[in-house]
Amino acid sequence: MNFELIQNIKAAFQLNFNEQPIVVFAPGRINIIGEHTDYNEGFVLPAAIDKGIVAAISKSDTQTCTILALDLNESYQFHIDKVSAIPNGNWRNYIIGVVGEIKKRGLEIAPFNLVFGGDIPNGAGLSSSAALENSVVFGFNELFDLGLTKTEMTLISQQAEHNYVGVRCGIMDQYTSMFGVENHALLLDCRTQEATPVHIDFKSYELLLINTNVSHSLVDAAYNERRQVCEKVASLLQVQALRDATEADLHKIKENLSEADYQKALYIIQENNRVQKAAQLIRENNLEELGELLFAAHSGAQHQFKISCDELDFLVNKAKENPQIIGARMMGGGFGGCTINLIKKDALEQFTRDISRAYLEAFNHHCSFYFVKLSQGTHLI
């Protein structure tokens, strides 16, 4: 828990509104394995982390809602009855979206004051947006006594992203940020939205995240396009979602598909199988084989689903060359953000030093390193 962040948010709230707010922490997430399987109603294996968003919220005694984004030093005011997506509204749409989605369900929200900030960098693929949505919906639920369950709040956050941000994301990020369990990953069945916590003992290994510090443009468009391809192939296969198809099923309709679409669908089917295998390997404490699955997942993301980029491939290739790293892959939606690496603890110092230098030389800008703990989901503080 980042106490300095909490203090800063509380202090900024006092300074601007001079009231006692409720304060919520919503975590970001990592994903051990399972990318783009969530909207195919398949499995994912993410975990909430000890970095996230802190939001302080109180009722306002005017008709205006005032929001302060502390890290960006930006603010926004709007009338509670005028809620619609803002073109290029950026962080504003995550919050407006949650307000809009709550109202859509016939629930009443009164004007509010909100200050938020966080310690997850934007664009790192650690789901700062889901954390923001969850912190806000969770805060509103407390403040206005809305009686929403955690599952309902998760869906409100996801719908805010679909309808106000324009990304047709799956359920993984919002679910994980809401339901995370300390020291566990969640084996989440995205169809039933039921998760089994899987305890992870990293033994002599450490989880290292390396941020490429790039977020290539058109990410949202490319994401929605991938989803469309998956839905098209599922409909050709006459199944509800690609989760219901096997490699053999897909092979039967190969002639009706372009090679690119065939490979994308094949990736999803294989990735879904990898997730289930990964959960089993973690339970058996077999991190070495888990590492191999991570490398295989990256290869699929790079060559079949085509969501990687030069910077991510560079970091994963460097990891592969190093025998002290047993697995690595790109993490999240793709086209930038972080890689996740399973590395021997005593190799950390040397590797991070070497990779810093090599990355700078190759791309002329720095990469960053993060270490995270697997943590509990959204809660009051």
Residues of this chain that bind ligand GAF (CB under 6 A): 35-36, 38-39, 127, 169-170, 172-173, 332-333
Q: Quick one: 109 or 169, whose CB is closer to ligand GAF? A: 169
Q: Least Å distance between CB 305 and ligand GAF?
A: 10
Q: Least Å distance between CB 193 and ligand GAF?
A: 13
- Let me know if 173 is a catalytic residue: yes
Kindly give the pairing relationship between strand 112-118 and strand 64-69.
parallel
Tell me the three state secondary structure of residue 369.
strand
Q: Quick one: 172 or 269, whose CB is closer to ligand GAF? A: 172
Q: Least Å distance between CB 127 and ligand GAF?
A: 6
Q: Which residue has the tokens 């509103």?
A: 140
Q: Quick one: 333 or 377, whose CB is closer to ligand GAF? A: 333
What are the backbone dihedrals phi and psi of residue 100, each rounded to the nearest 5 degrees, phi first? -60, -45
Residue 314: its H or E element: helix 310-321
Measure the CA–CA gap between 36 and 99, rounded to whole angstroms.
Answer: 27
Q: Least Å distance between CB 220 and ligand GAF?
A: 10
Reference 159, options 100, 231, 209, 116; nearest CA is: 100
Q: Quick one: 50 or 173, whose CB is closer to ligand GAF? A: 173
Q: Least Å distance between CB 41 and ligand GAF?
A: 12
Instruction: Give, as one character, the DSSP assignment of residue 374.
Output: B
What are the backbone dihedrals phi and psi of residue 374, each rounded to the nearest 5 degrees, phi first? -80, 125
Contact, 172 vs 190, CB < 8 A? yes
Q: For residue 78, what are the β-bridge partners? A: 65
Q: Least Å distance between CB 313 and ligand GAF?
A: 17
Q: 119, 173, 220, 310: which is the annotated catalytic residue?
A: 173
Reported as half-sphere exposure (CB side, CA atoms, 13 A), residue 59 has a value of 9
Instruction: Report CA torsion sign: 29, 318, 293, 334.
Output: positive
Q: Quick one: 100 or 333, whose CB is closer to ligand GAF? A: 333
- Angle between helix 348-363 and 310-321 (nearest 10): 140
Which residues carry out catalysis?
A: 173
